[in-house]
Amino acid sequence: MAKVTLKDIAREVGLSPASVSLVLNNRPCRVSEENRRRIKEVARRKHYIPNQIARSLVMQQSRSFGLVVPNIQSRYFASLANNLEILCRERGYLLLITNSVGSSESDAELVRLLVNRGVDGIFLVVSDEFTTDKELIDDLTQLPVPLVMVDRFIDGVSCDRVRYDNELGGYLATDHLLRHGHRRVACIINPDSNTGRLRLAGYRRALDEHGIAFDPALVFESDYYIPDAWQAAEGLLATNATAAFASSDNIALGLLKRVYERGLRVPGDLSVVSYDNSAADSLFEPALTSIEQNVPAISEVAVQMMLARVGEHAEDADVAAPVERMLTPRLVEKDSVRAL
């Protein structure tokens, strides 16, 4: 079947291709309401598909955004990518999803790639919040398109940003375990990320409020990958901890794998509070009590920030001060914590 063109529609309705194009792109033009109706009816009947490349050249917009995440295998980042893609598509934008595999060099490479592909804006979850990669920081500072940082921030880069309160999340998780009578509460944290450090700060605040001295021997380090957490869990199980705060769902799954290999059970032998509350973990028994970062909510805020920058008044948005939003996590109680 031959592709239907603007000329085909123009020929049938007896108007110029330029007028047809203006109507189908909802642009101002001197075309009667009856002719507008006829143009749209013919386009619908003939299954007209606009040439997005040609439209981009005329409108100077590609109707696409880019997303860079550090670990697409992470349940949280996979869910974030899924929600952002749906929201962008509902608003007429294609989302190009890329994976930096935790490398600042890849962050810089992918940002440049997306800009060269003509995206109208970029959502970025940085690999390393403490990066000193001058090339990446320079690239982000001089981006020709709007930038929205999601979940993780780099200081010194002026852009819109949104994340959850990680310190509060760590506090809520630890406080829940302490309120259930646990006094030896271990935690597994990623110290190479600001999110991990803030969650550790929340852990320490909860201990302090309950009058319990911080014990560094109960703090274990892990990246946000299941095998790393499985390794860290060996040391944790060698302590006399009765409970553990796992600072991501992947970390929790690595911990659970080691626990079950030892013939132990949650919460009978070890109470666990996880972080992220990803849907996949409802498959595990017992279901994990977890800190929820509502992914649809943070995705909605990020998309609204981006649309405000690329909308009809984008010129004004370019000079407006960057916006920062801090969202509030909540504890979702399930079956992985027992009272002592």
**Residue in this structure with the two tokens 């059970």, named with its chain if needed:** 265
Strand partners, 243: 185, 271
pTM for the full model? 0.79
Q: Compute the half-sphere exposure of residue 233: CA atoms within 13 Å on the CB side of its CA.
A: 27
Structure tokens at 150: 């999601």
Q: Using CA atoms, how far apart are residues 268 and 272, in angstroms rounded to an integer? A: 10
Coil, strand or helix: which one is 28?
A: coil
pLDDT on residue 261? 95
Name the region of 286 (left: φ>0; alpha: ψ -120 to 50; beta: rest): beta
Q: Using CA atoms, how far apart are residues 312 and 308, in angstroms rounded to an integer? A: 8
Strand partners, 148: 123, 160
**Residue in this structure with the two tokens 């030892």, named with its chain if needed:** 262
Backbone angles phi, psi at 162, to 5 degrees: -145, 140
Structure tokens at 61: 């917009």
Question: Which is it for strands 289-292 and 330-332: parallel, antiparallel or unpaired?
Answer: antiparallel
Coil, strand or helix: which one is 188?
A: strand
How many DSSP H helices and E strands does the chain contain? Answer: 13, 12
Cβ neighbours around 277 below 10 Å, total: 24
Q: Using CA atoms, how far apart are residues 78 and 86, in angstroms rounded to an integer? A: 12
Structure tokens at 55: 């439209």
pLDDT on residue 57? 42
User: For residue 237, what are the contacts with CB-CB under 8 A and spacing of at least 6?
Assistant: 258, 259, 262, 264, 270
Q: What is the pLDDT along the chain (340 residues), one digit of tens a residue?
A: 456 788 888 888 888 888 888 888 777 778 888 888 898 888 888 777 665 544 544 445 678 999 999 988 888 899 999 999 999 999 989 999 999 998 888 998 999 899 888 899 999 999 988 887 777 888 888 888 999 999 999 888 999 999 999 999 999 999 999 999 999 999 999 998 899 999 999 999 999 999 999 999 999 999 988 999 999 999 999 999 999 999 998 899 999 999 999 999 999 999 999 998 875 555 667 889 999 999 999 999 999 999 999 974 455 555 688 999 999 999 999 999 999 9
